[in-house]
C-alpha cells in the first residue's frame, strides 16, 4: 500500500469518525483511535497524538461560532480549564509510560460509558435555581439567547464541577479524546447549567484541554504529521457535514447506531488489550 492510498483511506475513515462524532456530540476521537489501532495497526500513542490534533482543530472552529452567538460561558470555561489542563498534562504523562494494552482496556471501558451517555435523553428545559456563593463571587451566573429571548441561569456546586473536570482532563490526556461527555456531566448535573450552555462551553474547553496534553505527545515524538494531517482534514469535513445533517435527521436512530458501533469497538479494544495485541 502506497503512502497516498494509505492517507486517502485514513481521510475517508476520519470523515466517518467526524460525522458520527458530530451527530452525537462526543467528537471523532472515540472512533479514530480504535480505527487506527485495530484496522491499521498504528501504535496507540501515535493514534492518540493524531486524535488530539483533530480535537484541537474541530473545537477551535465550532467554539468560535458558539462564543459569537453568546451561548458559551467564557468565565466558567476559563475557570474550569485550570482543572482540565492540569488533569490533561497528568494524563498525558501517565500515558507515555503506561503499557499500551492497559491504555487500550481503559479506552474500551470509556467507550462503553460514552455509548451509554449518547443514548441518554437530553433535557433542554432548565429549572431556575439559586446560585452558589462561589459562583456569585466569581460572577459565573449569566444568560443565554433562545427563541423566546434571553434566559437567566445560576451556577451551583462549583467545587464538585471543578473536581469532575480534573477527572475529565486526565481521561483526555490519557486517551486522546475530548472527554466531552464527562465535561457535560460536570456542568449539566453538578453545576446545573442549561444543556446548551454546558455543551457549547464544553466544546470551547475541549480544544484547550487537548492542546495541553498534545504538547507532551509532541515532545515525545508521538505526533506524526503524515498521520495527523489526513485525520484532521477528514474529521473537520465529517463534523461540518454532520452539523448539516443534524438539523433534519432523526437523532434518536443516529444515537442508537452510534452506540452499537462504539460498543463493538469497545469490545474489540478490551479484548485486544487483554490479549496483549495492542
As separate numbers, helices (DSSP H) first and strands (DSSP E) second, the chain gives: 11, 2
Residues near 38 by Cβ (< 8 Å), separated by ≥ 6?
265, 268, 269, 272, 278
Residue 233 and residue 235: Cα distance in Å, rounded?
Answer: 6
**What was the pLDDT predicted at 151?**
83
> In this model, does residue 95 exceed pLDDT 80?
yes
C-alpha cell at 225: 504529521
Q: What's the pLDDT score for residue 62?
A: 64
Tens digits of residue pLDDT in 181-234: 677 778 877 888 887 788 778 877 888 888 888 888 898 889 999 999 999 999
pLDDT at 215: 87
Contact 10, 3 (CB under 8 A): no
Torsion of Cα atoms, 231 then 233 then 238 then 241, to 10°: 180
Containing domain of residue 236, as a range? 3-274
More confident: 61 or 94? 94
* Terminal C-alpha separation, the chain: 22
Task: Give the whole-angstrom CA distance, residue 157 versus residue 189.
Answer: 10
Of all residues in the chain, the percent with pLDDT exceeding 70 is 84
Confidence grade of residue 25 (pLDDT, cut at 50, 70, 90): low
- How far is residue 26's CA from residue 13's CA, in Å, rounded to a whole number? 17
Find the DSSP H helices in 70-221.
74-97, 100-119, 133-137, 158-175, 180-185, 195-219
Q: What is the pTM of this model?
A: 0.80
Domains contained in the chain, number: 1
Residue bearing cell 501517565: 94
Q: Could you tell me how many residues make up the chain?
A: 278
Q: What is the pLDDT of residues 35-92, one digit of tens each?
A: 889 888 899 999 999 988 888 877 766 666 667 777 788 889 889 999 999 998 999 8
Which of 1-5, 28-32, 125-129, 148-152 bottoms out in mean pLDDT, i.e. has the lowest?
Answer: 125-129
Amino acid at each position: 500500500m502506497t503512502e497516498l492510498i494509505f492517507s486517502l483511506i485514513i481521510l475517508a475513515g476520519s470523515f466517518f469518525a467526524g460525522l458520527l462524532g458530530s451527530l452525537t456530540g462526543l467528537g471523532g476521537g472515540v472512533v479514530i483511535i480504535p480505527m487506527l489501532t485495530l484496522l491499521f495497526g498504528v501504535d496507540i500513542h501515535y493514534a492518540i497524538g493524531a486524535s488530539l490534533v483533530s480535537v484541537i482543530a474541530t473545537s477551535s472552529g465550532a467554539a468560535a461560532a458558539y462564543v459569537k452567538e453568546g451561548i458559551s460561558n467564557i468565565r466558567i470555561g476559563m475557570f474550569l480549564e485550570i482543572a482540565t489542563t492540569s488533569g490533561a498534562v497528568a494524563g498525558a504523562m501517565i500515558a507515555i509510560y503506561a503499557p499500551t494494552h492497559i491504555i487500550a482496556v481503559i479506552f474500551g471501558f470509556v467507550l462503553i460509558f460514552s455509548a451509554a451517555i449518547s443514548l441518554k435523553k437530553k433535557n433542554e428545559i432548565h429549572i431556575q435555581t439559586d446560585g452558589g456563593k462561589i459562583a456569585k463571587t466569581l460572577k459565573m451566573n449569566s444568560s443565554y439567547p433562545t427563541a423566546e429571548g434571553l434566559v437567566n441561569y445560576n451556577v451551583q456546586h462549583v467545587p464538585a464541577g471543578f473536581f469532575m473536570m480534573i477527572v475529565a482532563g486526565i481521561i483526555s490526556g490519557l486517551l486522546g479524546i475530548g472527554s466531552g461527555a464527562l465535561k457535560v456531566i460536570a456542568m449539566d448535573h453538578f453545576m446545573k447549567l442549561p444543556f446548551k450552555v454546558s455543551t457549547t462551553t464544553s466544546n470551547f474547553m475541549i480544544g484547550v484541554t487537548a492542546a495541553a496534553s498534545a504538547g507532551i505527545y509532541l515532545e515525545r515524538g508521538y505526533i506524526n504529521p503524515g498521520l495527523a494531517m489526513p485525520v484532521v482534514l477528514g474529521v473537520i469535513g465529517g463534523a461540518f457535514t454532520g452539523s448539516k445533517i443534524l438539523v433534519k435527521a432523526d437523532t434518536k436512530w443516529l444515537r442508537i447506531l452510534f452506540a452499537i458501533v462504539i460498543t463493538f469497538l469497545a469490545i474489540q479494544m478490551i479484548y485486544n488489550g487483554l490479549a496483549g495485541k495492542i
